Structure 1
Amino acid sequence: MLGDIVRYNFFALDDASEETYLLDYAIVLDGDDENDNIKILPFTSRYNKDSIESFCIGCIPGFVEVKNEGYVNNRQYVHFNKVLEVDKAELYPVHHQDVYGRVLRNNVGNPMNVALAEEQLDRIMDKYGIYEEGEEKNLINLLKKSHATFTLNSDQNNIEELREVCGKEMEKYREYNFNDKKIVVFFVDGERYSVVMRDTNNKDLDTRNNDLKEILS
């Protein structure tokens, strides 16, 4: 079941943002068939620039959407900030189709369920591996999920101010990318703050995260 594409009624959620209501499909993150509660990773074809918690996985083999121009196999964007745990009974399988809407069937005539390609699943599970159960939404935890190439520079940030708020829960945040910089504007206790990260040649996530903790502690 891990990596399967499913449909879920996000509109039925009591506590959801307007963006969540626009979602229809998700990727199964749990592979335990005996578990009634399953974590799902929502995705959408609406353009979303690659960010800390969202990125493009390309076109999913056999997954088509009905648009004005007909059946379309679009590039999809996953949203790690919207991962949900739901009852397995509330999920519906999505069947493999071609761009003419024809359902692909196996050798005994049953519809084939859509699933991620192996490379897509590897990318998602690598990213999912840095998320922690019940993790508080604060600045330090958010920055640790950014790509390893982005580092924090003392000369472009008010480090003393960031140290005071980096462990507190963020009310909301927005992310902007300009050339070789990533800027995160966030709010804590109603106050607005910002942090600038610079794109470098670093490839080691653990080293970058240790540097982050040292700077902000």
Structure 2
Amino acid sequence: MSNKTILRYTANQRTNHWLVAILFFMAGLSGLALFHPSMFWLTNLFGGGPWTRILHPFMGVLMFVFFLGLVFRFWRSNFFIDNDWKWLRRIDRVLVNDEETVPAVGKYNAGQKLLFWTLLLCMLGLLLTGLVIWRAYFSHYFGITTIRWAMLLHALAGFVLILSIIVHIYAGIWIKGSVDAMMHGWVSRAWARKHHALWYREVESQDPPERPVTKKG
């Protein structure tokens, strides 16, 4: 047992996350390929234009389904508490790595919670508008005006989602230890105490799981 590390993500949670990530890139690249002629060359990644049009909506639906898995796992940890609003008012201190003067937060800080709900709204928007413009199965149930609005909103939701994921990736790299947590599941106690003090205290009050020992040689 290690007295220096804490389990942040289980193997199932990490697998769920990376499945969503893979499907996001696949759906995103295929969506960009269909968005504008200048990016149509991306269809080569999926076997050409016809296959891209066929696969894109299925990848989008799968992404939404697996993202729901993350929602069911983490929604309770993403409700705002009083300290989150105080944290937002002190965001300037967070940006200069002065978290000692910032209110303690739980498993996720206010920025992560905002991202969580933004992603959920974007995913819902993409799913609903995507169904409206899915020519093979659903678009014939809607009028041309509805389809045009759905296409516009679909593109807007996709744009916001891509920007949000860019922020997510940047923040994960910027906060050293975050990527490793999603790769291996464990974080140091010092990391947890510094970035998520309320969560650290909660974990410390329970019996933490033992980190498996890897034998060498």
TM-score, normalised to structure 2's length? Answer: 0.29
Which of structures 1 and 2 has the larger relative contact order (alpha carbons within 8 angstroms, sep 6+)?
2
Larger radius of gyration: 2
What TM-score do you get using the length of structure 1 for normalisation? Answer: 0.29
Structure whose residues are more often helix by fraction: 2
The structure with the greater share of residues assigned to strand is: 1
